[in-house]
Amino acid sequence: MIRVLRPVPVERLKLLVFDLDGTLIDSAQDLCNSVNATLEKFGRPYLSDEIIASYIGNGALMLVRRAFATDDGKEPGEEFLAEAYKFFLDYYREHKLDYTYAYDGVLEALDALHKLHDQVDVPARAMAVLTNKPVRPAQAICEALGLAPYFQNIYGGNSFSTKKPDPEGLLALMKDAGATPEQTVMIGDSQVDVLTARNAGAWCIGCTFGLAPGSLEAIPPDVLVDSPADWTAALSPAKINSSGCP
């Protein structure tokens, strides 16, 4: 189902930028397992998957920081945090694909979107990934799951000096693709992605099937979709017009 809150000029779009975790892939279990392995290593109690999943979205360092602050509410010291973060990254690199998978319909939707520019009335479009996950595991996951060939660029949380919702990464992708904010849409599952789009002056599609759909209620995107299959309809002028959507 597609809910249009503010019509996106899909006929003019030149750049589609996707979040990774909670948008293209369900990586929650591997992230939760890696966090709990890190907590165990440093003598802390396990956290529920639900609690850990609520911490995902602002980068791996923030994920670890939040996890260690849960027990007593105190922020961990920077030296300790650095040690715990290193362990987390090493563990996650080894286990990043234990349970992670692409959501049903993602590959089919990306293939359909890739072919949209073959239509006479649709401009050529570039597709890219912008995630707060460290770039090497992000690239490795995209390659392993068959996602990488669809994307011009795959940028991570350490690809730039800032992370989402700072617009630096999205603006860099616009420059790479020769696209303006009006010609760009960010597709993600959380308010972090909505804020990134807003901060860059771009459009945003929110995915209610992701890891943090509740946050989309606080800061709504321009369009809400319930499955990857909806991306094609939401981004195709012909399908939007025939569906009766505004």
CA-to-CA distance for 164 and 85, rounded, in angstroms?
Answer: 19
**DSSP 8-class letter at 125:** -
Q: Counting runs of H as helices and runs of E as strands, what totals does the chain give?
A: 11, 9
ω into residue 165 within 30 of 0, thus cis?
yes
Contact 221, 96 (CB under 8 A): no
ω into residue 123 within 30 of 0, thus cis?
no
Q: Which residue among 19, 26, 30, 222 is the active-site one?
A: 19
3-state helix/strand/coil string of 14-35: CEEEECCECCCEECHHHHHHHH
Instruction: State yes or no: is 19 an active-site residue.
Output: yes
CA-to-CA distance for 153 and 132, rounded, in angstroms?
Answer: 14
Strand ranges across the sheet with 184-188: 2-4, 223-225, 203-207, 184-188, 15-18, 126-130, 153-155
Instruction: Count Cβ atoms below 10 Å from residue 146 Cβ, excluding itself.
Output: 12
CA-to-CA distance for 160 and 52, rounded, in angstroms?
Answer: 25
Q: Which residues are catalytic?
A: 19
